[in-house]
Structure 1
Amino acid sequence: MKTIHVVCALIYDENHRIYASQRGYGEMKDGWEFPGGKIESGESEQEALKREILEEFDTEVCVEEKLCMIEHTYSSFHLVMSGYWCSIVEGHMIMKEAEAGTWITKQTLDTLDWLEADRKIVAQLKQIEWK
């Protein structure tokens, strides 16, 4: 089974909210996730995350500390995903590929239909103090 390494951004704002996006394409279309993507050859996790958020949301982020590394096996691949706290340097999360996007609070985490791997991060977010 193929293993895919990805990164995701836990982009927070001054109101202790985190940005979530709804996939607009692929076999997991319509599922909610923390934005990010695949790490390309020669990239660090932080470089990949900056590139992905700039490409998909026209927004520059500052990648801060790593929150988690989770693994999840889907039917056709094994996912290894690292999640990083990020803050916005410039931009307004303009959706180029996502179906929808929203700012969530700890109280609204359970209102979205999360992709299976992202549910593991949601479970961790419920247990910690947010930025």
Structure 2
Amino acid sequence: MKTIKVVAAIIIENGNVFATQRGYGEFKDGWEFPGGKVEANETPEDALVREIKEELDTEIEVLELLDTVEYDYPKFHLSMECFICKMKSGDLILKEHEAAKWLTKETLDSVDWLPADEGLIGKIEEYLGRN
């Protein structure tokens, strides 16, 4: 099975977490943490900064690795490094996503997460509880 290596930004501002809804492809309408594929000769952190600039016209600071999710979709294996991030500048303009919202610790499970992202919710709740 082919492995796709991606990165995801868990953008946290004032205790709220930014979530995006896919506007395209096989997983259209599912909710996810924004990010994308890591290109050759790119660190995961550099890939994440680039992807968020491209997708959301926003500069982020990557703070720490929260988790690496390994998930088997029917057609591929996803390896997703998920980083806690904060905004440096920009307005989170949706260029590829259908919708977005800020979620609180209490509302994190109120959207229909894609399977790989869903596994992060408990860890994000723990992180928010500590910080």
RMSD after superposition: 1.0
Contact 1:40/1:48, CA 8 A, preserved across alignment: yes
- For 1:1-131, list aligned pairs within 5 A: 1-13=1-13, 15-128=14-127, 129=129, 131=131
Gaps of 5+ in 2: none
The percentage of aligned residue pairs carrying the same residue is: 50
Alpha-carbon separation, structure 2, partners of 1:100 and 1:41 = 30
Deviation at 1:127, TM superposition (A): 2.9
Equivalent-residue separation in structure 2 for 1:130 and 1:108 (angstroms): 17
Shift of 1:124: 1.6
The one-letter code matched in structure 2 to 1:29 is K
CA distance in 2, matches of 1:126, 1:10: 12
TM-score (norm 2): 0.96
Contact residue 18 and residue 105 of structure 1 kept, 8 A: yes
Q: Residues 101 and 130 from structure 1, CA distance in 2 versus in 1: closer, same or farther, beyond 3 angstroms?
A: farther
> Which consecutive segments of 4 or more residues in structure 1 shift more than 3 A?
none
Count of paired positions: 130
Q: Secondary structure at 2:118's aligned position in 1? A: helix
**Within 1, Cα distance between the matches of 2:40 and 2:103?**
32
Distance 1:54 1:79 in 2: 22
The alpha carbon displacement at 1:122 in A equals 1.0
